[in-house]
Amino acid sequence: MILKESQIMKIHYITGIAALFVVAVHIIMRLVMPFSMSLEYENVIANYQNIAYAVLLESILVLIAIHGFNGLRIILIEFRQNIAWENGVTVFTLVAMIALIAYGTRTIIVANGLG
């Protein structure tokens, strides 16, 4: 499936705006208790074990990975203008994005205790 650049950019904008919201929620959640306490091991694990929070973390991971790696693709394709470079950059960013999402998802699953 080959997406048009406008479709990719639509995804880029939507993931960017959505990421702003979920990251804001994530930061606000740090404030329900004193900040340093919120980062203590037990509290972090407790967060992961709360299914709603785990879903929030997963959505941050997916949204930021898509938005960030597409941003990287955009920067890199401006460096050189040839098909081999463009295809290489697209494949590299796609693979890196999938790998990061897979690794992050695995961490969330393990910390949640499902794995």
Partner 1 sequence: MTALLNIKTRRKKLERDEKKESTLESSRKVVHLRVYRKNPKQDKSSHFDKFEVPVQRWSTVLDALLHAKGYLDKSIAIRYSCRMASCGSCGMKINGIPRLACYTKVSEIDGNIITCEPLPNFPVIRDLVGDFSDFFEHHSAMEPFIHNQNADIVDENRLTEFIQTPEDVENYLQFSYCIKCGLCYSACPSVGSDTRFPGPQALAQAYRYVADNRDDATQSRLNIVDNKHGIWRCHFAGSCSVVCPKGVDPALGIQLLRGHLVNFSKNDKKLAESRTRNLGKT
In the complex with partner 1, the residue whose CB is nearer, 10 or 106, is 10
Q: Is 30 buried (19+), middle (13-18) or exposed (0-12) by CB count in 10 A?
A: middle
Residues 13 and 66 sit within 8 Å (Cβ to Cβ)? no
Neighbours of 105 (CB within 10 A): 16
In the complex with partner 1, the residue whose CB is nearer, 2 or 52, is 2
Question: What is the contact mask toward partner 1 in residues 1 to 30, using x (rule: CB under 8 A)?
Answer: ---xxx--xx--x-----------------
By rule CB under 8 A, what count of residues binds partner 1? 12
CA distance 112 to 106: 10
Q: How many residues are recorded in the chain?
A: 115
Least distance between partner 1 and beta carbon 63 (Å): 18
Q: Does 78 bind partner 1 (CB under 8 A)?
A: yes
One-letter amino acid at 48 equals Y
Q: Dig out the tokens for 89 from the structure.
A: 């950059």
Q: Report the residue from 53, 86, 92, 108 that binds partner 1 according to the rule CB under 8 A.
A: 86
